[in-house]
Structure 1
Amino acid sequence: MKKHIPKSCIFPTAADDAEAATLTPETGDSYRLAYSDANFLLRDDLRAVRLQLEWLKPDLIQEELEIESTVVIFGGARFPELNVAQQLLKVAENALAQNPNDPHNIKQSRIAHNRVRNSRYYDEARKLAHQITLTSLACGGKDFVIVTGGGPGVMEAANRGAADAGGKSIGLNIVLPFEQVPNPYVPPELSFQFHYFAIRKMHFLKRSRGLIACPGGFGTLDELFETLTLIQTHKIKPLPVILIGSHYWSQLINFEFLVEQGAIDEKDLELFHIVDNAEQAWSILEKYWLNDERLS
């Protein structure tokens, strides 16, 4: 018969933490329990441990909350909803009116006009996340859970769409030189923060059943091309990759040029789909998932 060992003999308790934090004049940091010594945990030598902890914490929490699969939605943090974009345009136009010959003001006005046009992707991400979340809820809410970078712009729109549908979604924030706080549509229990981009990337794809990339900047491109590379090299199972906004993507990247130069194969163009709106994106996802037993 196995002898029962109290959890308190294995796992530290709050009392242990309090005791470990109390140092006498005869002791120093070396006496502090390792897990309660922040200076020790932040040493370069402990990077591997920090990487492991950063992997385990979000993974265990998602397991405990029974999240089995996700759908990733990427997009620009700087593309807000229309009313916000219009307010920013007014600011830019006022500055231009005061000094119409200033090259900086002229450029900022042009950018503000583009931001207003690009605000439609906020709406598309919100609509698509809403539809995906309705499907998730019909499956019990454990599958096809929306996951974003947790920040503003298109990320906020996707989390908001999930909330509109009455479902949960995930936000994977990252520590940045400029402060990025979780958007208000990510539930606290599914709001995570990362220091290491590498671990965050792994969490985006571990449970993913699809990836949607709305127009965005370096971060969106980084995640998009990494995913395409992993699929191309068979490091992960194929999944639908959808780019929303044919005008944006055709101006940004000449995929045919890559084929013509021999940089990629013609068949690599089949790794993704380019569409113009949420309805077209949903049609592709629905067909791809049609035989999924979770949807039956």
Structure 2
Amino acid sequence: MMFKRQQPLTRNFPTAKESAQVQAEAEPLGKYDGPESAYRLAFTDTDFLLREELRPVRMQLELLKPEMVQQEQDIKATVVIFGSARIPSEDKARAGLALAQQSQDPAAIKRAEVQLSMSRYYEEARRFAAIVTRASAERAEPLYVVTGGGPGIMEAGNRGAHEAGGKSIGLNIVLPHEQHPNPYITPELCFQFHYFGLRKMHFLMRSVALVCFPGGFGTLDELFETMTLIQTGKCRRRPILLFGREFWTRLINFELLIETGMISPGDEQLFHFVESAEEAWALLEREYEQAQAGLTRKDK
């Protein structure tokens, strides 16, 4: 005789969420409610989770939370945009120059003129992100723009994707000086990190390309870690685009590195210089098509 189950099986034990809810709704317990009490559930006890010994658990949480959320949001392929937080939009740069000219301070005027010149990179990052978002929207696996979530070039990347009607990701970091996420990140894809290493890991985990605009120490750190991982074979090769040949060749003497044997001939081919959003996207499309063609040949 077959046993027929009339109702679906329920969990044997309450979920952690249910237990936390029971604890939150429980009547006060007097002396066991105080800060010195160890009565709280371990996973709801913030003071416990922030103890020095719990660092491995916190690191695991920073790995898991963005990973699980992106899986739920079906984010499979990304284009990462690196660049300075200090590069303003053209509108802001022009407003800054007007103020500097009113002050008649030559040094302030010079700084404002440089800011206006650099603002072209903000506008290129904005246009590039919009092109990526629109062009890949109908693909089986759309490309999503990822930035560090702050102002400047990061804002431009998220803004371009937002203006194109797409989602984008922001990977913010807690810094000694307060930094708010820019207003263009998709809210459910706006993350905050404590550990730089895990944040940089998430930049690379889904990336099919990295696009690097002018920037300072943080941008250089992100760029060179990526190139080191590719050079040493620790991660798969992917296109790295450097926006602005003049900036990058003045900043880094790549030829000297080859001449002195600090890098091998051919290592300079890990990256490409580009000058416009359209040029960058055309290069990525070629790389993408070649990669897909290679996969097809292997399948045969």
Same fold (TM over 0.5): yes
Shift of 1:263: 0.9
Equivalent pair of 1:21/1:32 in contact (CA under 8 Å): no
Other structure's SS at 2:88 match: coil
Q: Could you tell me how far apart the structure 2 residues matched to 1:185 and 1:7 are?
A: 44
How far residue 232 of structure 1 moved from its aligned partner, in angstroms, is: 0.2
Tell me the equivalent position of 2:283: 284
Check whether the contact 1:255–1:269 (CA below 8 A) recurs between aligned residues.
yes
- Gapped regions of structure 1 (runs ≥ 5): none
**Residue in 1 that maps onto 2:143:** 144
Cα deviation, 1:118-167, whole Å, max 9, x if unaligned, reads: 10001111111111111321115x43111001111111111111112211
- Paired with 1:196 and 1:129, the residues of 2 have a C-alpha distance of 26
Q: In 2, are the aligned partners of 1:77 and 1:155 still within 8 Å (CA)?
A: yes
Cα deviation, residue 19, structure 1 = 5.1
Cα drift, residue 170 of structure 1: 0.5
Q: Corresponding residue for 1:134?
A: 134
CA gap of 1:31–1:284, structure 2 versus 1, over 3 A, is same
Where do 5+ consecutive residues of structure 2 fail to align?
none
How many angstroms apart in 2 are the aligned matches of 1:135 and 1:83? 27
Conserved? CA contact 2:147–2:169, under 8 Å: yes
Change (3 A) 1:21 1:93: farther
Structure 1 residues 98-133: Cα deviation after superposition (integer angstroms, max 9, x where no partner):
xx5xxxx62x43222111001000111111111111
Contact 2:31/2:37, CA 8 A, preserved across alignment: no
| Higher deviation after alignment, 27-36 or 119-128 | 27-36
| Structure 1 residue aligned with 2:189 | 190
Any conservation in 1 of the 2:32–2:39 contact (CA below 8 Å)?
no
Contact preservation (8 Å) 1:85, 1:112: yes
Q: Letter of the 1:169 partner, please give it.
A: S
Deviation at 1:16, TM superposition (A): 3.1
What are the Cα deviations for residues 72-96 of structure 1, in whole angstroms up to 9, with x where unaligned? 011111111111011222333333x
Q: Give the Cα–Cα distance (whole angstroms) in 2 for the partners of residues 234 and 274 of structure 1.
A: 22
Q: Which residue of 2 aligns with 1:87?
A: 95
Aligned sequence identity (%)? 50
| Partner residue, 1:55 | 63
Which position in structure 2 is the counterpart of 1:124? 124
Distance 2:27 2:162 in 1: 41
- Compute the RMSD of aligned alpha carbons: 2.3
After superposition, what is the alpha-carbon deviation per residue over 1:172-195, rounded to whole angstroms, capped at 9, x for unaligned? 111111111111111111111111
Larger displacement relative to structure 2 (210-219 or 16-25)? 16-25
CA distance in 1 between partners of 2:120 and 2:205 (Å): 29
Preserved contact between residue 242 and residue 248 of structure 2 (Cα < 8 Å): yes
Of residues 11-20 and 83-92 in structure 1, the stretch that sits farther from structure 2 once superposed is 11-20
Cα distance 1:17–1:224, how it changes in 2: closer, same or farther (>3 A)? farther
2:11 is aligned to: 6
Structure-1 residue corresponding to 2:208: 209
How many residues get paired?
A: 286
Q: TM-score, normalised by structure 1?
A: 0.90
| 1:212/1:20 CA distance change after superposition, 3 Å | farther
For 2:291 and 2:26, how far apart are their aligned partners in 1? 51
CA contact (8 A) 1:17 1:36 kept: no
TM-score (normalised: structure 2): 0.89
The residue type equivalent to 2:93 in the other structure is A
CA contact (8 A) 1:146 1:162 kept: yes
C-alpha deviation, 1:4, in angstroms: 3.9
Task: Determine the C-alpha separation between the residues in 2 that align with 1:68 and 1:269.
Answer: 28
Q: Cα distance 1:238–1:7, how it changes in 2: closer, same or farther (>3 A)?
A: farther
User: What is the identity, as a one-letter code, of the residue corresponding to 1:94?
Assistant: Q
Structure 1 CA distance, aligned partners of 2:193 and 2:178? 13
Specify the SS of the correspondent of 2:248.
helix
